[in-house]
Amino acid sequence: MRHFVIVGVLIAVVTPLIYLGISAENVMPVQASVQSLPVDWMWNVDAAAMAFLFSLIMVPLLYSLIVFRRRKGDTSDGEHSEGNTRLEVTWTIIPLLVVSIYAYLGAYTLGETRIAAPDAMEIGVTALQWDWRFEYPEGFASNELHLPVNQQVVLRMQSLDVIHSFWVPEFRIKQDVLPGRVTEYRITPIRLGQYKVRCAEMCGASHAYMERLVIVSSRADYDTWVQEQAAVAAALLAQGGPESGRALVSQNGCLACHSVDGSPLTGPTWRGLSGATVELSDGTTVVADDAYLAESIREPVAKIVLGYQPGIMPQYGLTDAQVNDIVSYMATLK
Question: 260 with 213, same domain?
Answer: no
Each residue of 201-225: pLDDT tens digit?
Answer: 998 888 998 999 999 999 999 999 9
Average model confidence (pLDDT) across the chain: 86
Sign of the dihedral through C-alpha 7, 13, 16, 18: negative
152 in the same domain as 107: no
SS3 91: helix
Helix (H, G, I), strand (E, B) or coil at 2: helix
Summarize pLDDT for 34-53 with one digit per residue, the tens: 999 999 999 999 999 999 99
In a domain, residue 90? The reply is: no
Q: Of 196, 212, 232, which marks where a domain is finished?
A: 232
Residues 257 and 317 occupy one common structural domain: yes
- pLDDT of amino acid 296: 83
Count the domains in the chain: 3
Q: What's the CA angle centered on 52, arms 49 and 57, to 5 degrees?
A: 125
pLDDT-derived band of residue 309, with 50, 70 and 90 as boundaries? confident
Residues 137 and 217 occupy one common structural domain: yes
* 95 located within any domain: no
Residue 160 has phi, psi (to 5 degrees) of -95, -10
CA 156 to chain centre: 14
pLDDT at 221: 94
Q: Is residue 264 part of a domain?
A: yes
Confirm if 273 and 330 have CB atoms less than 8 A apart. yes
> 232, 252, 269 — which closes off a domain?
232
Residue 40 is part of which domain span? 1-64+100-115
pLDDT at 306 over 70: yes
Q: Which of 22-26, 182-186, 293-297 has the highest mean pLDDT?
A: 182-186
CATH number, domain with residue 320 = 1.10.760.10
In a domain, 2, yes or no: yes
Long-range contacts of 221-227 (CB under 8 A, 24+ apart): 222/146, 222/147, 222/148, 223/148, 225/146, 226/136, 226/138, 226/146
**Average pLDDT value for residue range 122-133:** 88
Give which of 260, 262, 244, 254 is closest to 300, Cα–Cα: 254
Average pLDDT over residues 294-311: 80
Residue 293 within a domain = yes
Does residue 261 share a domain with residue 225?
no
Shared domain for 275 and 248, answered yes or no, is yes
- Name the pTM for this structure: 0.73
CATH number for the domain spanning 210: value is 2.60.40.420
**For residue 329, what pLDDT is reported?**
86
Instruction: Mark whether 132 and 203 lie in a shared domain.
Output: yes
| pLDDT value, residue 289 | 86
Q: Are residues 128 and 210 in the same domain?
A: yes
Output the 3-class SS for 13-32.
HHHHHHHHHHHHCCCCCCCC
Query: Pairing between strand 153-159 and 183-187?
Result: antiparallel
Q: Which of 192-196, 255-259, 268-272 has the lowest mean pLDDT?
A: 255-259
